[in-house]
A and B are shown apart, each in its own frame.
Chain A
Amino acid sequence: MSESDADGRPSVVARLVAPFVDRSVAERLVISVAAILLSIVIGFAIVLVSGRIAECTTAAWTMPLTGLGFCYDPVEVYVVLFNGALGYPFAVGDPGLLNPEWTPFNLSFGLTLSETTLLIFTGLSVAVAFRAGLFNIGTQGQLVVGALATALSVLAVAPLLPAGRIAGVVLVVIGAAAGAVAGGFWGAIPGALKAYADANEVITTIMLNFVAANVAYVLVLEVFRAEGSSVVATRYVPEYAQFLPWLFPQSSDFALIALLVGVVFIGALYYFVEHTSLGYDLRTSGVQAAAAEYGGVNAKQTTVRAMTLSGALGGLGGSVWVLMSEGRWMASVPDLGFDGITVSILAGNNPIGVLPAAFLFGVLKGGALEIGFRTDVPTELVAVLRGLIILFVAMPEFFRMIGRYTGVGGPPGGVPGTTEPDETAGGDRGETDA
């Protein structure tokens, strides 16, 4: 019985991962874009319906032909979402198309890029684990732990160094290292449990998210709380140890240098996964664990390594959150880890794809703030969109079906991938049954 179990698990995982690894890049791109568009359409319907139900004194939007009044204007929501996230480059309603006063270095765009930077790290974290056939839902917890380690280590070391730019660089490096180590440790726990006790990582990482949030909260509440602070938070790290905004407004919490570091990590990780022997081990055990084992890969070690690396990236995301966004650790850490799952899935778990996916989610998050400022629509709409996008990306067959019925994607057999599902399906089957 245990024999077949041991074989059963990896084949489940292989089937989970296969569609994300095998499918051609072009088809993945088409499906991701289609998933986003479909989510936007359904979001439109949700706004419309809830706008009919909600109570308000004057209608924000009246439906043409029917004359029905709605409390929320679904068109305006999306205009505000996308235009606002970029700082209103388009002059909607004015004679000119572009807003002449717009510069890229505005507050809203800074906030969007700030979210993008953080999501690059969490997205990479989930993607690396995914490539190894592991579903790391625990990036959130790894980020919380990494962020706390960063804040505490910087606060502890700061008094020992003379204030100044050099000390700032040293502190940032120490903080980032502490974040990566703590996050890596937190990620290694489910990795080891998976490798040596066969505990399902999906469940253990979800549980560790709750544990991380609770333990960090209590630690700060009882021990490290800043004196006189009304919220549960540590002291601020020194100004010179934070990433400073350059070109962008101070309040945007965005530092170009952090984004550049994120992009460098994308490149490094792409190289690691695609062009190193360790990366090869990782990929093969993700696609076909039994074959990898047969080829001499130590699957248990690879599992622990992949989860440690994944956790370290999540922890690093926490470091950036502390050193760039907040300047301290504080309770109610945003959902960056969960958004990282969406980013990674949208990117087809490809490190390069993480960049546009993170930017898209940066726009959604930045735009959510604008929705809150400028419309009455609850900002939770963006959380709904996040769930819908994941759902649609998970069902490529649906889009293939639509493609087949409507003939989108050229004549039958014209464009590979979108109109020839048999080819990919056959590939999947050959992969898992081998």
Chain B
Amino acid sequence: MRNPLAAASIPILDDLIESDYVRSLVVGTAGLLALLGAFGLAFPGSVAGDLAGIVFSTSTATSTARLAAPIVLAGLGGIFAEKSGVINIGLEGLLIISAFVSVYAASVVGIGNAVLGVPALAVGFLAGIAASTLLSALFAVVCIEFKADQIIAGLAVWLIALGLAPFMSTVFFGGVNTPNLGANVGWRYSTAMVIVATVGSWWLLNQTGFGKHLRAAGENPKALDTVGVSVSKVRYAGVLLSGVLSGVGGSALALSIGQFVGSGETMVQGKGFIAIVAYLFGNYNPLGTLGAGVLFAGLDATQIRLQQLGYAIPDTLVQTIPYVMVIVVLALVGRTQIPEAAGEHYETEE
């Protein structure tokens, strides 16, 4: 064991958490927060005091909830795709396309209006999910039907969305950034969706026959084929689920502000890639993914609050912390238990 934190035991969660990494994450984060809280109470006027004030403030909590939604939801989607044997590196693209389409659809309906009794923001949500699912369907066809290289096809999904969203924004709104809708989705909705999705994913993966098939498609497709279950169908389901969940995440991200920002790397800013790291870090466990996602989002939220308090750290530098952390985490965790047949095409034997 490289990691002493992994040995610690957590009474209630022990049954749920089999992974050492998840355990060390939970213990490490809790320890750090406790330390920070203690320092903050002891020295209220110091940097630690300020930091503790930020970390434990409600505004940080709400913005963490807002920022965690796309990371956790896309990460959960990534689990389904990769468990089924399709590495979906295009999560970033799915987030981008759903972020734009959700804002576009909501603005077409118009805030305050409703379609068949469904309010504009909810229509935006549904449209964002539909767009993301559609793009993931394209990815699935390309990977499963046409045996494309999954990494390159995923990269293509990202680059297509990275071009298409600002393109459409310019067509519809005359600029890469959409105007603000003037209404947004509260953080409570995001939090609820994240929790429901996490628990639902855990249940689906571990407690149902579908979850069993999904894992078999990634670990031993031949065995699944032998018992008469179509590997392709299971993989389609896995990839489409990643599209649905990413769609919820991307829509939640954009609608929580009420705007799509399409300049540079767009408002998604690599959250899709951080999502991949979140589920790798969580070792394909939805609860671990939730923990890692909240941790990454919390860092970002703390950084934003630090700026507002006027600490003279260049914001760009602080924004770099999550990326560096991802690299460090990946270097420490390194080898993850990637499904045996992930990345490989499966040929049905008739």
Interface residues, chain A, with chain B CB atoms under 8 Å away:
1-2, 4-6, 8-9, 11-12, 15-16, 19, 46, 50, 53-54, 135, 137, 193, 197-200, 202-204, 206-208, 210-211, 214-215, 217-218, 221-222, 332, 338, 341-342, 345, 378, 380-388, 390-391, 393-395, 397-398, 401
Contacts and interface: CB of A to CB of B under 8 A. Distances in A.
Given A2-B335, A193-B327, A378-B167, A202 B343 contact: no
A203 B326 contact: yes
B317 A214 contact: yes
A16 to B, nearest CB: 5
Nearest to A19: B149
A341 to B, nearest CB: 7
Interface stretch (B27-35, B65-73, B157-165, B178-186): B157-165
B146 A207 contact: no
A199 B327 contact: yes
A387 B330 contact: no
Interface stretch (B122-130, B169-177, B287-295): B169-177
Contact of A401 (B89, B146, B164, B330): B146
B202 interface: no
B320 interface: yes
Contacts of B152: 16, 345, 390, 393-394
Interface residues of B, number: 54
A12 B172 contact: no
Interface of B: 89, 142, 146-153, 155-164, 166-168, 170-172, 176, 264, 270, 273, 276-277, 280, 314, 316-317, 319-320, 323-324, 326-327, 330-332, 334-335, 337-338, 340, 342-345
Contacts of A2: 335
A391 B140 CA distance: 12
A202 B330 contact: no
A198 B273 contact: no
Contacts of A211: 320, 323-324, 327
Given A211-B324, A387-B162, A388-B156, A15 B344 contact: yes
19 contacts: A5-B335, A15-B344, A16-B149, A50-B167, A197-B331, A199-B331, A203-B273, A204-B327, A207-B323, A214-B323, A218-B316, A378-B170, A380-B167, A381-B167, A383-B163, A383-B167, A384-B167, A391-B157, A401-B146
Nearest to A20: B149
Nearest to A390: B156
A341 B270 contact: no
A214 B146 contact: no
Contacts of B345: 15
B331 A193 contact: yes
A195 to B, nearest CB: 11
A8 B341 CA distance: 8
A359 B330 CA distance: 37
At the interface, is chain B mostly helix, strand, loop or mixed? helix
Nearest to B159: A387
B325 to A, nearest CB: 9
B97 to A, nearest CB: 11
A380 B344 contact: no
Contacts of A8: 338, 340
A198 B160 contact: no
Given A383-B162, A397-B147, A204 B330 contact: yes
Contacts of B273: 203, 206-207
Contacts of A387: 156-164
B319 A214 contact: yes
Q: Which of A207, A221, A378 has the most CB of B within 10 A?
A: A207
A395 B146 contact: yes
Contacts of B277: 203, 207
Contacts of B323: 207-208, 210-211, 214
Nearest to A341: B155
Contact of B334 (A54, A199, A397): A199
Nearest to A137: B155
